[in-house]
Amino acid sequence: MAGRVPDEKVFDAVLAVIAQQGYERATTRAIADAAGINEATLFRRFTSKENLLRQAVRGNFKGFALDLGSPGDDVEADLVTIVSYYARLYETRGGVVLTLMREAKFSPEVAAVLAEPEKLLERVDEVILHHQRRGALVVEPPRHTFFALVGPLMMRSLARRVDRRATQAPADPVAVVRRFLDGHRPVGA
């Protein structure tokens, strides 16, 4: 029997508190208040804070599947698919993602939560390798290419949280990719 406040609502509250307070400052009391639930109930239902956060974060990534079909002849199209995904991810969930990346260094559990996104990255690698072999991209370690491509997006998300002067406008994936391609075509192509 789920309680009166459904788990999903509690998870939403968790993410809201994380985004606002940061991961380590997200207290169970604040989460309980945000969820409109008693703190004791939180522990009765979710056992521990750690377990609660893990469930909340995992659920948060579920809606963010990227369907990477097999890569085709069109570099630009394939990269736009990738960039669009990450742009959306960082714009809506950037705070949580970056918090997790930082936390992953210290916490094995958080690192485990990132294992799933990591699998996605491996498929992105394949797409990049495919186009490198086709001669459409400079040959270099695919993760290197990936970060050159997606790095500015992440930085904008991060900067938005630090620097008020940073651009608030969402990135245009097509423009990002075109610009990237101008600098990453092989010499002879």
Partner DNA sequence: CTCAAATGCAAGTGGGCACTTGCACAAGTG
Partner DNA sequence: CACTTGTGCAAGTGCCCACTTGCATTTGAG
Q: Point out which residues bind DNA (CB under 7 A).
A: 1-5, 25-29, 36-41, 43-45, 47-50
Rounded to a whole number of angstroms, the minimum distance from the CB of residue 12 to DNA is 15
Residue 48 to residue 20: CA distance in whole angstroms:
21
Using CB under 8 A as the binding rule, the residues of this chain from 95 to 114 that contact a second copy are: 95, 98-99, 101-106, 111, 114
143 binds, among DNA, a second copy, none (CB under 5 to 8 A by kind): a second copy
Rounded to a whole number of angstroms, the minimum distance from the CB of residue 96 to DNA is 16
Residue 187 has which token pair? Answer: 């010499």
Instruction: For residue 27, report the phi and psi dihedrals to the nearest 5 degrees.
Output: -85, 155
Smaller CB distance to DNA: residue 10 or 128? Answer: 10
Q: Are 18 and 26 in contact (CB under 8 A)?
A: yes
Q: Are 75 and 133 in contact (CB under 8 A)?
A: no
- Which of 68, 166, 172, 174 touches a second copy (CB under 8 A)? 166
- Which of 8, 24, 50, 116 touches a second copy (CB under 8 A)? 24
Q: Give the number of other Cβ atoms within 10 Å of residue 13's Cβ.
A: 22
Single-letter residue type at 180: F
66 binds, among a second copy, DNA, none (CB under 5 to 8 A by kind): none
Rounded to a whole number of angstroms, the minimum distance from the CB of residue 28 to DNA is 4
- Per-residue x/- track, 117-156, a second copy (CB under 8 A): -x--x-------------------x-xx--xx-xxxxxxx
Total residues in contact with a second copy, by rule CB under 8 A: 44
Cα 148 to chain center, whole Å?
Answer: 16
Which residues are CB-neighbours of 68 under 8 A, at least 6 positions away?
81, 82, 120, 123, 124, 127
Q: Give the number of other Cβ atoms within 10 Å of residue 102's Cβ.
A: 14
Q: Give the number of other Cβ atoms within 10 Å of residue 60's Cβ.
A: 20
- Name the nearest CA neighbour of 77 among 65, 88, 64, 68: 68
Provide the binding-site residues for a second copy, judged by CB under 8 A.
Answer: 21-22, 24-25, 95, 98-99, 101-106, 111, 114, 118, 121, 141, 143-144, 147-148, 150-156, 158-159, 161-163, 165-167, 178-184
